[in-house]
Structure 1
Amino acid sequence: MDGSTIRYYKTYIYLTQELGYKIGSCSVYELMKANGLLKYQRTGKVRGKRNWVKDLVPNPVTEFSFLEFDIKYIYVAGKRANVQVLTVLDVYSRWNLGHYINWSIKANDVIALFEEIFQNYQMPKYFIVKK
């Protein structure tokens, strides 16, 4: 519940249980809303579009020009612990170039995976790596 929901509900409980009024929770909410007593009520204004995210997304023009590293955690119920999965993607083709799975991933593991990718794929002279 957000702050305004809790506030109107507490008022509803106070009016019905403490003071003995017979009023519904929706009526309490509408009365408080009409009188501007809800702290964070929506005004109906629409926020502008957030264009800054578009600048953060790369626009690769060829394969292997922009690589993306991604680490996910997967819960292993039998061990009651998370295993880490490091995946390297080519952003242009969305191709999985390689992955490494272990209980913990160290810097040496990332370097070893990167070297394995260099051996399996012909990389261009210049490319961008995003973590």
Structure 2
Amino acid sequence: MQPSIKDKVEIAKSYIDKGFNAVFVLKTVKLSRSTYYYSLSVEGKEKAKPKGGKPKGYSLDNEYKKICDEQIKEFIMESIDGDALNYGYRKITYHLRRYYNLKINQKKVYRLCKELGILKDQRVIKPKLKRTIAVNRTITGSNQLWEMDIKYGYVQGEDKFFYLLNLIDVFDRSIIGYHMGLHCEAKDAAALLRKCLIKRNLFEEGASRPVIRTDNGPQFVNYKFSECCEEIKVEHERIPVKTPNKNAHIESFHRILEDDCLKINEFQTYAEAYETVNDFMEFYNNRRLHSSLRFMAPNEFYDLHFGENQTNIQIRV
């Protein structure tokens, strides 16, 4: 029986350590010098652990700006509602690179699609939710139309994103409620909607409910949010893909939030971000003047015209 390479290395090493000529010993045991010295170099060393860890939570675009995973999920949902309807995750990857200028690989797109439950085989098995398209409306009073959407913030000191889910009344511009957290799911959107109905005394039996308008984000196309709207008898309509003008009032608020709060503050901790945003929301609702509200603050305007239909103030959306 021929000795193994490992046995030959051990035999050769024992003789060389005793002072025998290395070239003569290796020739005798029929072992090449490279094999012998390589075996000595790796002896006792453990195999290095594969690199890996927790996903970063964001990707970069072509301008090296950080785009958080929740925003990328919205891009994916927009894509499959549009040109990428029948795409698998590989084609979606190239779609994101071409039309959203993202630096992203197929493994990450696969993970995000799996989290959304829209991988090709799952999308065939799972029936698609009935979608109600947003229609043109004329708003003459509070609590007739509410808009809901997500804004993303960044904590520089902790290198992570946070999410702001805001709900605005189109007529009086009040931010009735908001959810802020490191995660934002369909259950958070449903809880926020319930909280806002309670806050405005619209949860009682027989109360007239507002229409809730959203985009096509994963939180709003989820079955949990749809079931919540059916249960509390709220009509939910979604804007067509790539038409943010149909959600203009919440988008306008997010621009104010970005310019007056998020952009001018470099947060070092999430607690600091939470306190700053909370202070801004209080300022916006109670002290910030709106020219469209006859230079009143949103809550002041709401209190003045509570329960009224204004024929001289009409908002077409």
Larger Rg: 2
Residue 114 of structure 1 aligns to a residue whose secondary structure is helix
Tell which deviates more after alignment, 55-64 or 111-120.
Answer: 55-64
Shift in alpha-carbon separation, 1:127–1:81, aligned structure 2, 3 A: same
Q: Residue 176 of structure 2: which of 93, 97, 100 is its match? A: 97
Look up the match of 1:127. Answer: 210
Shift in alpha-carbon separation, 1:103–1:57, aligned structure 2, 3 A: farther
Answer yes or no: is 1:77 the counterpart of 2:156: yes
How far did residue 78 of structure 1 move?
Answer: 1.4
Residue 116 of structure 1 aligns to a residue whose secondary structure is helix
Look up the match of 2:138. Answer: 59
Residue 94 of structure 1 aligns to a residue whose secondary structure is coil
How far did residue 127 of structure 1 move?
Answer: 2.2
Aligned equivalents of 2:135, 2:157: Cα separation in 1: 39
Shift in alpha-carbon separation, 1:58–1:102, aligned structure 2, 3 A: farther
CA contact (8 A) 2:143 2:209 kept: no
Structure 2, unmatched stretches of 5+, are 1-133, 215-317
Q: How does 1:4-15 map to 2 (within 5 A)?
A: none
Look up the match of 2:244. Answer: none
How far did residue 116 of structure 1 move?
Answer: 1.1
Render the CA deviation track for 1:50-106: whole Å, top value 9, x for unaligned: xxxxx9775311101000002100111012111000010000000010000011101
Per the normalisation by structure 1, the TM-score is 0.53
Aligned equivalents of 1:104, 1:57: Cα separation in 2: 32
Shift in alpha-carbon separation, 1:84–1:57, aligned structure 2, 3 A: farther
Instruction: Give the residue type in structure 1 aligned to 2:155.
Output: V
Aligned equivalents of 1:82, 1:58: Cα separation in 2: 35
Instruction: Give the residue type in structure 1 aligned to 2:212.
Output: V
Instruction: Give the residue type in structure 2 aligned to 1:127.
Output: P
Which structure has more strand as a fraction of its residues?
A: 1
Per the normalisation by structure 2, the TM-score is 0.23
Aligned equivalents of 1:79, 1:59: Cα separation in 2: 44
Aligned equivalents of 1:73, 1:57: Cα separation in 2: 28
Shift in alpha-carbon separation, 1:58–1:85, aligned structure 2, 3 A: farther
Structure 1, unmatched stretches of 5+, are 1-54
Aligned equivalents of 1:105, 1:69: Cα separation in 2: 13
Residue 78 of structure 1 aligns to a residue whose secondary structure is coil
Instruction: Give the residue type in structure 2 aligned to 1:125.
Output: S
Structure 1 stretches of 4+ moved >2 Å: 55-59
Residue 157 of structure 2 aligns to a residue whose secondary structure is coil
Aligned equivalents of 2:181, 2:139: Cα separation in 1: 30
Aligned equivalents of 2:150, 2:209: Cα separation in 1: 24
Look up the match of 1:110. Answer: 189
The percentage of counterpart residues that share the same residue type is 22
Look up the match of 1:68. Answer: 147
Q: How does 1:35-50 map to 2 (within 5 A)?
A: none
